[in-house]
């Protein structure tokens, strides 16, 4: 691994973990840079309010900046909550000696409305810190604070950007997320050119930390050597993904989730690899053919926070019988299964440890063998399916699994039904992962084949 880029955040601590240095460090980690912090203030904060602010002594803030710079080194700096004139002057003095890209997020007000910048500190921010900035990233309310311009349109955002640029930063981004409409527009003024970055507005309350994540993402991209327009555009895309995955926690404004996409991608890779390995285990087992229904079999694996079949990996076209045995002709992928995916999603609501399932044929010999193997079994009657469930596509499996779980008092190893008009009998085998499911399948198929296990 080559030399990792190093990014320093100089900002406040959010005890709720949604903004401030907590959001910055998560963003740095998600973007593959080494994050460091110099804490300016400690806030007692949650999703609803800020109840207290403790200002860190200026000399301690200075020392935090000095020690990481001298030893570890810095490739970019991001500033957030600076709170007071004394802190701003101290930070500006230290950063004037560090010749790397500086992203200034002029944090003035928390999402809850609490002030995070003293009124007498605005002048110090403008005169001391903005002239050092590579990029300054105000939202429209912060742009108004800096310029006095009322902003209600893209044209006024451009006017504000020009006014802020006169204060000395190399580039200005005025973020338009607070404006009404179905799209958001961020305006970048750089080298005399105006760049407009539009995105679909995401309607959610879970936006705490948006500004911190945008600024820290911009700093991370600049640390990697990206040009300013490309860094800003990438930061906008990154923060939009973090908003989409925002966490619905607390009673107020939930936080955005900068590491959400990283977790999802990791989970998907793990699930995909797991299913491929499980399929190899089955392919070597001739006795498995006995378990394949006429309509084919499927094995699925769900990700940790799966909420739809698109979060569940399965076998496209299913595992089907052939003259020579059976095959899964296509590579596993997400959204490939609906029925078995819905089965595991339903089971996960009752037992989050259950992440995998497979559908197999069902008959009385299979039932007696399952019981002999000591596997827990429950069932539902497709003939008792309510008409309103039958009429709606995709509801039958969740209804049936719910019925079987209710009857058993919890998730079992196997749920079966005896079919209905035009529907063959079927069983679904559940497990904590694909290996667990396959072990159960192979125990069953080998016992049916008369192989000692």
Q: Pick the catalytic residue: 111, 128, 175, 355?
A: 175
pLDDT on residue 328: 86
Could you read off the pLDDT of 231-263 as tens digits, one per residue? 999 999 999 999 999 999 999 999 999 999 999
Residue 55 DSSP symbol: E
Give the β-pairing of 377-379 and 414-417: parallel
Selection from 167, 217, 162 nearest residue 190 by Cα: 162
Residue 220 DSSP symbol: H
SS3 357: strand
> 15: Cβ–Cβ under 8 A, 6 or more apart, which residues?
42, 43, 44, 45, 46
Is residue 107 pLDDT above 70, yes or no? yes
- Residue 120 has which token pair? 């007498």
Selection from 89, 28, 80, 35 nearest residue 62 by Cα: 89
**Side-chain half-sphere CA neighbours of 330 within 13 A:** 13
Q: Pick the catalytic residue: 147, 210, 346, 396?
A: 210
Domains and CATH numbers, the chain: 6-258 (3.40.1190.20), 264-448 (3.40.225.10)
Average pLDDT over every residue of 81-94 = 97
pLDDT on residue 406: 98
Output the CA–CA distances (angstroms, integers) from residue 26 to 3, 32, 65, 228, 267, in the order listed: 20, 10, 19, 22, 18
- Residue 113's φ and ψ, nearest 5 degrees, are 105, -5
- Residue 321 has which token pair? 């019988």
Is residue 1 pLDDT above 60, yes or no? no
Q: Assign residue 191 a region (left: φ > 0; alpha: ψ between -120 and 50; beta: otherwise).
A: left
- Residue 185 has which token pair? 């527009």
Residue 288 DSSP symbol: G
Is residue 151 pLDDT above 90, yes or no? yes
Q: Pick the catalytic residue: 209, 260, 400, 431?
A: 209
pLDDT on residue 452: 61
The mean pLDDT of the chain is: 95
pLDDT on residue 351: 98
pLDDT on residue 392: 86
**Which stretches of 374-420 are assigned E, i.e. beta strand?**
377-379, 414-417
- Residue 328's φ and ψ, nearest 5 degrees, are -120, 100
Please classify residue 27 by burial: count the beta carbons closer than 10 Å to its beta carbon, then call 0-12 exposed, 13-18 middle and 19+ buried.
Answer: buried
pLDDT on residue 180: 85
Q: Pick the catalytic residue: 211, 246, 254, 314?
A: 211
Please classify residue 262 by burial: count the beta carbons closer than 10 Å to its beta carbon, then call 0-12 exposed, 13-18 middle and 19+ buried.
Answer: middle
Q: Pick the catalytic residue: 9, 137, 184, 207?
A: 207
- Residue 170 has which token pair? 């190399």
Is residue 181 pLDDT above 90, yes or no? no
Average pLDDT over every residue of 23-51 = 98
User: What's the rounded Cα separation, in Å, for the pair 449 and 334?
Assistant: 33
Q: Pick the catalytic residue: 79, 176, 212, 355?
A: 212
Could you read off the pLDDT of 368-387 as tens digits, one per residue? 999 999 999 999 999 898 98
Could you read off the pLDDT of 3-23 as tens digits, one per residue? 899 999 999 999 999 999 999
Task: Confirm if 373 and 349 have CB atoms less than 8 A apart.
Answer: no
Q: Assign residue 24 a region (left: φ > 0; alpha: ψ between -120 and 50; beta: otherwise).
A: alpha
Could you read off the pLDDT of 309-364 as tens digits, one per residue? 999 999 999 999 888 788 887 899 999 999 999 999 999 999 999 999 999 999 99
Catalytic status, residue 212: yes
User: What's the rounded Cα separation, in Å, for the pair 137 and 143?
Assistant: 9
Selection from 83, 4, 84 nearest residue 36 by Cα: 4
Is residue 113 pLDDT above 80, yes or no? no
Catalytic status, residue 390: no
Selection from 344, 269, 358, 283 nearest residue 308 by Cα: 344
Catalytic status, residue 204: no
Is residue 430 pLDDT above 70, yes or no? yes
User: What's the rounded Cα separation, in Å, for the pair 295 and 360?
Assistant: 10
SS3 412: coil
User: What's the rounded Cα separation, in Å, for the pair 255 and 246?
Assistant: 6
Starting from the edge strand earliest in sequence, which strands make up the sheet with 312-314, in order? 333-334, 312-314, 299-302, 356-361, 426-431, 414-417, 377-379
**Torsion on CA atoms 178, 179, 185, 187, rounded to nearest 10:** -80
Please report which confidence band the pLDDT of residue 453 belongs to, taking 50, 70 and 90 as the band edges: low
Average pLDDT over every residue of 81-99 = 97
Please report which confidence band the pLDDT of residue 390 belongs to, taking 50, 70 and 90 as the band edges: confident
Percent of the chain with pLDDT over 90: 88
pLDDT on residue 112: 75
Catalytic status, residue 210: yes
- Residue 281's φ and ψ, nearest 5 degrees, are -65, -40
pLDDT on residue 32: 98
């Amino acid at each position: 691994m080559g030399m990792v880029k190093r990014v320093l955040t100089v900002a406040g601590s959010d005890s709720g973990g949604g903004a401030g240095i907590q959001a910055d460090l998560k963003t740095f980690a998600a973007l593959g840079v080494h994050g460091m912090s110099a804490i300016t203030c400690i806030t007692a904060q949650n999703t609803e309010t800020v109840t207290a602010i403790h200002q860190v002594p200026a000399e301690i803030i200075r020392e935090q900046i000095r020690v990481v710079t001298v030893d570890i080194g810095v490739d970019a700096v991001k500033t957030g909550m600076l709170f007071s004139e004394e802190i701003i002057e101290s930070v500006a003095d230290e950063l004037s000696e560090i010749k790397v890209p500086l992203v200034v997020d002029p944090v003035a007000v928390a999402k809850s409305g609490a002030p995070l910048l003293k009124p007498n500190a605005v002048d110090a921010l403008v005169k001391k810190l903005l002239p050092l900035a590579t990029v300054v990233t105000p939202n429209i309310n912060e742009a108004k604070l800096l310029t006095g311009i009322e902003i209600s349109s893209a044209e006024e955002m451009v006017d504000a950007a020009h006014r802020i640029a006169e204060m000395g930063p190399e580039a200005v981004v005025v973020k338009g997320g607070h404006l009404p409409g179905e799209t958001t527009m961020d305006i970048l003024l750089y080298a005399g050119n105006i760049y407009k970055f539009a995105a679909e507005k995401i309607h959610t309350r879970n936006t705490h930390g948006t500004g911190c994540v945008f600024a820290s993402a911009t700093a991370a991209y600049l640390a990697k050597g990206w040009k300013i327009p490309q860094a800003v555009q990438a930061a906008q895309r990154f923060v939009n993904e973090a908003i989409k995955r925002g966490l619905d926690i607390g009673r107020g404004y939930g936080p955005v989730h900068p590491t959400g996409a990283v977790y999802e991608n990791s989970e998907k890779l793990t699930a995909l690899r797991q299913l491929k390995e499980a399929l190899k285990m089955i392919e070597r087992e001739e006795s498995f053919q006995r378990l394949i229904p006429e309509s084919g079999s499927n094995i699925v694996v769900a990700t940790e926070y799966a909420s739809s079949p698109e979060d569940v990996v399965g076998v496209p076209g299913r595992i089907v019988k052939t003259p020579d045995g059976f095959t899964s002709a296509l590579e596993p992928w997400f959204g490939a299964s609906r029925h078995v995916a819905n089965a595991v999603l339903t089971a996960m609501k009752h037992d989050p440890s259950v992440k995998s399932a497979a559908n197999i044929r069902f008959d009385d010999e299979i039932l007696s063998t399952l019981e002999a193997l000591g596997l827990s079994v429950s069932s539902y009657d497709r003939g008792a399916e309510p008409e309103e469930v039958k009429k709606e596509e995709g509801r039958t499996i969740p209804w049936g699994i719910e019925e079987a779980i209710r009857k058993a008092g919890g998730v079992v190893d196997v749920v079966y039904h005896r079919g209905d008009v035009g529907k063959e009998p079927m069983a679904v085998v559940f497990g904590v992962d694909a290996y667990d499911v396959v072990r159960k399948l192979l125990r069953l198929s080998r016992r049916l084949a008369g192989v000692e296990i």
